[in-house]
Amino acid sequence: MALHPDGKHLCIADYKQGLLTLDLATGAVSPLLTRRDSERFKGPNDLVFASNGDLYFAAQGQSGLHDPTGRVDRLRPTGQLDLLLSNGPSPNGLALSRDEDVLFVAMTRDNAV
């Protein structure tokens, strides 16, 4: 989960349902993004917001060294979805550098960042 920059919502990476939002005032949960075109995401598991509202999220699914097809995407506030990485062996952890010029991605099964 990550707090949305508006301070009113939590964004949730749900392995089966994709990206969800939780309205902190009402407790209502609603889908934010469940698919890329007609394809479901491969098990979203981590996310981080940039100060400009860009949402970076990892989808590792069952990827690993045997199947390096984990993905990292960016969802812009405009709704534009950008695929940043599609060949990750288990992307499972995201962090932005202090100046937000670098996105660090932990590749769990590869013991790499």
What are the pLDDT tens digits along the chain (113 aa)?
A: 999 999 999 999 998 899 999 999 999 999 999 888 777 877 888 999 999 999 999 987 777 778 787 889 999 999 999 999 988 888 889 999 999 999 999 998 887 78
Domain spanning 2-110: which CATH class is it, in words?
A: mainly beta
* 3-class state of residue 109 by DSSP: helix
Residues pairing with 79 in the sheet: none
**Identity at 102, one-letter amino acid code:** V
In degrees, rounded to 5, the angle at the alpha carbon of residue 17 between the alpha carbons of residues 21 and 36 is: 95
Token couple for 59: 């989808």
Angstrom distance (rounded) from CA 66 to CA 33: 28
Angstrom distance (rounded) from CA 73 to CA 85: 7
Angstrom distance (rounded) from CA 47 to CA 67: 21
Domain boundaries, the chain: 2-110
pLDDT at 80: 94
Q: Count other Cβ atoms within 10 Å, centred on residue 46.
A: 20
